[in-house]
């Protein structure tokens, strides 16, 4: 199939609609559900925006009804630092005035191809918007921007290839979110709500026996009621015995502590008592030989949306790493952002360095890893409070961070929690590695397919070999 590009203006691709925010006098314009109200803040790296921070009520929709976008429209941010971010809107949506949207002429153009094409133009959009403090790409300039596209049949085939990669990436992301939610639900049940303990207490306070209390804890741990547990005991006696042993690890009473009520026999410890805390450092930029491709150098942007940090935007050389060897943190350390953007949490995948905005916790025992990870996630609001004192920029220093107190559960309970989470986290890491590979492949193929540098059969061959 021959590849030939034809020149158009963006306005030729479909109807251009600039969004609008409902007037403030409409007090009930926004709601918890309804039509997504898309702003640049919602453009967080997702290709498809179907969930937003705010939604419009029927009153809000009526106030800006001329801005209602049909499904499969394309939204492009045209004001400020997020200039040129491009997303697909899979359902009916409305955007604010910082966004220009295209309702693609589906007779002549493939909306997914148009999305992929526009997603490569962020730098070009920024260039024509000007260098003011708040760059603006108005509707007129946006509409007149020149683009080059092949015929629709070629668009369809290219979009199909790129879409297949993005769909795999999105499925992996959804699976990982589900796996992490499963682990987090277990953490909450055992270490926040203390459900096995409180179930035991409730039975004993009602005059029940110790055996009935254990059964109640088993119900909390397994999610099975008494009848289901009886069937489970008959059909899976060994697993039933393991479940009972797990329930017996939890006490049947609470005790007071400086953190409030915690299960009897559990302790309270500072973060530094449960792991080694390391504040990162940036090697001197005056020593260019300190930077290279050997050791990951983690900064906060590398952590966003990443449970495991698999790649970084910058790496140190061996010389750079050795220049601050005490700052090197091993794999399976927990990174926590503590300056400016506070409370982002990730786990290192290999020995790494971080900058000074990050405190890392290397657990003293491997069985503490996932427990501490979820504890750090739960500290976000507390870290914000600690970081707000006495400075315009949020800042939790290493000493303050190290001294934060958290519950220290029974060692056997922690070991069991770690064992239950290990499979989930290993699967998350495996899918994350696959996603990173697919992302690199997509980003490599995208400009080459759009320009005709490689043919469709060549792209399909590359995907079959690498994906």
Structural domain contains residue 422:
no
Residue burial 202-219, b: 16+ Cβ < 10 Å; e: rest: ebbeeeeeeeebbbbbbb
Q: How confident is the model at residue 131, as a pLDDT? A: 66
Give all strands (DSSP E) within 145-281, no chain letters: 146-149, 254-255, 262-263, 267-270, 275-279
In a 13 Å sphere around the CA of 371, the CA atoms on its Cβ side amount to 26
CB 37 within 8 A of CB 94: yes
Question: What span, in angstroms and rounded, lies between the C-alpha atoms of 38 and 56?
Answer: 10
Shared domain for 10 and 144, answered yes or no, is yes
Which residues contact residue 433 at a Cβ distance below 8 angstroms, ignoring those fewer than 6 apart? Answer: 310
Domain end among 379, 408, 437: 408
Q: For residue 382, is pLDDT > 90?
A: yes
Q: Could you tell me which of 185, 215, 211 has the C-alpha nearest to residue 199? A: 215
Cβ distance 445 to 465 under 8 Å?
Answer: no
For position 292, what pLDDT does the model report?
A: 96
Domain assignment of residue 436, yes or no:
no
Point out the domain boundary residue: 103, 127, 149: 149
3-state SS assignment for residue 361: strand
| Shared domain check, 401 and 273 | yes
- What is the pLDDT, as a whole number, of residue 435? 96
Q: What is the pTM of this model?
A: 0.90
Q: Looking at the 3D structure of the chain, how many domains does it have?
A: 2
Q: Is residue 23 part of a domain?
A: yes
For residue 27, pLDDT beyond 90: no
For 338-437, list the strands marked E by DSSP.
345-348, 353-354, 358-363, 405-408
Q: Tell me whether residue 174 is in a domain.
A: no
- Other CB atoms within 10 A of residue 237 CB: 10
**Tokens representing residue 98 in the block:** 């910082």
**Per-residue model confidence as pLDDT tens digits over 158-211:** 999 999 999 999 999 999 999 999 999 999 999 999 999 999 999 999 999 999
Q: Would you say 417 and 283 are in contact if contact means Cβ atoms under 8 Å apart?
A: no
Q: In this structure, how many other beta carbons lie within 10 angstroms of the beta carbon of residue 53? A: 12
| Mean pLDDT score of the chain | 95
The gap from C-alpha 225 to its chain's centroid, in whole angstroms, comes to: 34
DSSP for 280-330, written as a single string: --PPPTT-GGGEESSEEEE-HHHHTT-SEE---SEEE-HHHHHTTGGG-B-
* Residue from 422, 410, 327, 412 nearest 373 by CA: 422
140 and 275 together in one domain = no
Same domain, yes or no: 274 and 139: no
Mean local confidence (pLDDT), 72-84: 93
Those residues whose C-beta lies under 8 Å from the C-beta of residue 207, and which sit 6 or more positions away, are none
Residue 161 lies in a domain: no
Q: How far apart are CA 451 and CA 447, in angstroms?
A: 6
Q: Checking phi first, is residue 72 left (phi over 0); if not, alpha (psi -120 to 50) or beta?
A: left
Task: Indicate whether 128 belongs to any domain.
Answer: yes
Sign of the Cα pseudo-torsion (214, 220, 221, 226, in order): positive
pLDDT value at residue 315: 98
Q: What is the pLDDT at residue 180?
A: 98
Contact 57, 29 (CB under 8 A): yes
Of 11, 10, 75, the C-alpha closest to 37 is 75
Name the band, by pLDDT with cuts 50, 70 and 90, for residue 80. Answer: confident
- Mean pLDDT, residues 117-127 taken together: 93
Would you place residue 285 in the very low, low, confident or very high pLDDT band (cuts 50, 70, 90)?
very high
The DSSP element (H or E) to which 146 belongs, if any, is strand 146-149
Number of residues that this document lists for the chain: 467
Which pLDDT does position 290 carry in this prediction? 97
Answer whether residue 243 shows pLDDT above 70. yes
CATH of the domain at 370: 3.90.220.20
Find the largest Cα–Cα distance for the chain: 82
Using the predicted structure, report yes or no on whether residue 432 has a pLDDT greater than 60: yes
Per-residue pLDDT, averaged over 327-348, amounts to: 97
218, 195 Cβ separation under 8 angstroms: no
The domain boundary residue, chosen from 99, 125, 149: 149
Q: Across residues 6-32, what is the average pLDDT?
A: 95
What confidence score (pLDDT) does residue 1 get? 55
Residue 158: inside a domain: no
Higher pLDDT, 192 or 390: 192
Q: Which tokens belong to 291?
A: 């930077």
pLDDT-derived band at 134 (thresholds 50, 70, 90) equals confident
Residue 383 inside a domain? The answer is: yes
Query: What pLDDT is attached to residue 467?
Result: 63
Pair of tokens at residue 324: 């601050």
Q: Is the dihedral of CA 249, 251, 255, 261 positive or negative?
A: positive
Can you tell me the distance from the alpha carbon of 153 to that of 192, in angstroms, rounded to the nearest whole number?
56
Are 100 and 17 spatial neighbours (Cβ–Cβ below 8 Å)?
yes
Instruction: Tokens for 359, please give them.
Output: 């405190």
For residue 307, give its domain range.
268-408
């Amino acid at each position: 199939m021959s590849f030939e590009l034809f020149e158009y203006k963006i306005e030729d691709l479909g109807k251009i609609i600039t969004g609008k925010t409902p007037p403030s006098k409409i007090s009930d314009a926004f709601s918890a559900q309804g039509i997504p109200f898309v702003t640049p803040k919602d453009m967080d790296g997702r290709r498809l925006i179907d969930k937003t921070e705010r939604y419009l009520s029927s009153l809000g929709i009526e106030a800006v009804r001329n801005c209602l976008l049909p499904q499969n429209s394309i939204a492009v941010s045209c004001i400020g630092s997020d200039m040129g971010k491009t997303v697909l809107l899979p359902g009916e949506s409305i955007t604010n005035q910082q966004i220009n949207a295209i309702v693609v002429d589906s007779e002549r153009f493939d909306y997914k191809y148009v999305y992929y094409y526009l997603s490569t133009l962020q730098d070009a959009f920024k260039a024509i918007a000007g260098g003011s403090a708040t760059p603006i790409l108005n509707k007129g300039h946006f509409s007149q921007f020149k683009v080059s596209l092949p015929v629709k049949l070629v668009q369809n085939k290219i979009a199909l290839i790129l879409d297949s990669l993005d769909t795999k990436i999105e499925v992996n992301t959804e699976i990982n979110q589900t796996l992490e939610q499963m682990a987090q639900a277990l953490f909450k049940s055992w270490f926040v709500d203390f459900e096995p303990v409180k179930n035991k207490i409730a039975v004993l306070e009602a005059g029940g026996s110790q055996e009935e209390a254990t059964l109640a804890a088993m119900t909390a741990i397994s999610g099975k009621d008494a009848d289901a547990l009886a069937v489970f005991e008959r059909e899976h006696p060994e697993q039933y015995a393991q479940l009972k042993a797990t329930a017996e690890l939890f006490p049947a009473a609470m005790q007071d502590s400086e953190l409030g009520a915690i299960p009897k026999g559990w302790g309270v410890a500072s973060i530094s008592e449960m792991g080694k805390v390391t504040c990162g450092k940036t090697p001197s930029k005056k020593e260019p030989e300190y930077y290279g491709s050997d050791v990951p150098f983690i900064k906060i942007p590398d952590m966003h949306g990443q449970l495991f940090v698999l790649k970084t935007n910058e790496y140190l050389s061996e010389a750079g790493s050795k220049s601050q060897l005490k700052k090197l943190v091993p794999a399976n350390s927990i990174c926590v952002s503590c300056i400016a953007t506070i409370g982002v949490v990730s786990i290192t995948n290999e020995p790494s360095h971080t900058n000074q905005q990050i405190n890392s916790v290397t657990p003293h025992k491997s069985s503490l890893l996932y427990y501490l990870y979820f504890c750090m996630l739960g500290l976000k609001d507390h870290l914000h409070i600690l970081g707000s004192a006495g400075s315009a920029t949020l800042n939790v220093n290493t000493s303050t961070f190290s001294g934060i107190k958290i519950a220290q559960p029974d060692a056997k309970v922690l070991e069991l929690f770690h064992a239950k989470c290990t499979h989930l986290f290993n699967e998350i890491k495996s899918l994350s590695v696959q996603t990173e590979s697919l992302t690199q492949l997509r980003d490599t193929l995208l400009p080459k397919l759009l320009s005709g540098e490689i043919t469709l059969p060549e792209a399909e061959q590359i995907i079959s070999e690498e994906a």
